[in-house]
Amino acid sequence: MPVVVPGKAPGDTTVVVAMSGGVDSSAVAALYQAAGYNVVGMTLQLWDYTPASNGGAIKAGGTCCALDDVYDARRVCQKLGIPHYVLNMEKAFKEAVIDDFVETYAAGETPIPCVRCNQRIKFVALLDKAKSLGADAMATGHYVIKDVDGNGVPVLKRGAFSEKDQSYYLFTTTAEQLGYLHFPLGKYEKTQVRAWAKELGLHVHVKKDSYDICFVPGGDYRKVVRKFDPDADAPGNVVDLEGNVVGTHDGVVGFTVGQRKGLPGGSVEPLYVVEIRPATREVVVGNRAALGRKVFSVRELNWLGAPQFGAGVVKVRAQHNGAEAMIHDLGEGRAEVVLAEADHISPGQAAVFYTPDGVMLGGGWIEGSRAAQSPLGAVRKVVIDAGLNLA
DSSP 119: I
Give pLDDT, residue 5: 77
CA separation for the pair 183, 197 (Å, rounded): 17
- Of the candidates 65, 77, 114, 117, the residue annotated as catalytic is 117
Counted residue by residue, the chain has a size of 391
pLDDT tens-digit readout, 10-45: 999 999 999 999 999 999 999 999 999 999 999 999
What is the distance between the alpha carbons of residues 158 and 354, in angstroms, rounded to a whole number?
9
Q: What's the confidence (pLDDT) of residue 68?
A: 80
Q: How far apart are CA 301 and CA 298, in angstroms?
A: 7
CB count, 10 Å around CB of 141? Answer: 21
Q: Which of 64, 65, 114, 214 is catalytic?
A: 214
The answer to whether the Cα torsion of 188, 193, 194, 196 is positive or negative is positive
Parallel, antiparallel or unpaired: strands 282-286 and 292-303: unpaired
Confidence at residue 306, expressed as pLDDT on a 0 to 100 scale? 93
Q: What is the mean pLDDT of residues 197-216?
A: 84
In 161-304 the beta strands, taken as DSSP E runs, fall at: 181-182, 236-239, 245-249, 272-277, 282-286, 292-303
When the pLDDT of each residue in the chain is averaged and rounded to a whole number, the result is 87
User: 199 pLDDT exceeds 70?
Assistant: yes
* pLDDT (0 to 100) of residue 193: 95
Grouping H, G, I as helix, E, B as strand and the rest as coil, residue 44 is strand
Q: Which of helix, strand or coil describes residue 317?
A: coil
Active site residue 117: yes
pLDDT at 221: 85
pLDDT at residue number 250: 87
Q: Is 64 a catalytic residue?
A: no
Residue 35 in contact with residue 202, Cβ under 8 Å?
Answer: no
SS3 364: strand
Question: For residue 2, what pLDDT is reported?
Answer: 61
Does residue 188 come out as left (phi exceeding 0), alpha (psi in the -120 to 50 range) or beta?
Answer: beta
